Amino acid sequence: MREIVSIALEAVLPTIANVLRAQGIPPWVTPSQRTLELAERSADIYRKLARPTGVWSAIALDRFDEIFEGEGLNARANPIADTARQAEDLALFAVTVGKELCAAITDLFERHDPALASMLDAQASEGTELAAAEIERRYVAWIVGQGRFRNGSGVLRYSPGYCGWHVSGQRKLFDQLRPEEIGITLRESFLMQPLKSISGVAIAGRGEIFDFENTYDFCDDCGTWTCRDRIRAAMGEGRSTT
Give a yes or no: residue 40 inside a domain.
Answer: yes
pLDDT beyond 60 at 238: no
Contacts of 142 (CB under 8 A, 6+ apart): 1, 3, 58
Name the band, by pLDDT with cuts 50, 70 and 90, for residue 223. Answer: low
Give a yes or no: residue 175 inside a domain.
Answer: yes
HSE-up of residue 79 (Cα within 13 Å, Cβ side): 22
Which CATH number characterizes residue 163's domain?
Answer: 3.40.109.40
Give a yes or no: residue 28 inside a domain.
Answer: yes
In tens, the pLDDT along 98-113 reads 999 999 999 999 999 9
Give a yes or no: residue 98 inside a domain.
Answer: yes
Give a yes or no: residue 242 inside a domain.
Answer: no
Give a yes or no: residue 240 inside a domain.
Answer: no
Domain count, the chain: 1
Name the band, by pLDDT with cuts 50, 70 and 90, for residue 195. Answer: very high
Q: Do the beta carbons of residue 117 and residue 222 sit within 8 Å?
A: no
pLDDT at 236: 78
Give a yes or no: residue 23 inside a domain.
Answer: yes
Residue 12 structural domain: 2-235
Give a yes or no: residue 241 inside a domain.
Answer: no
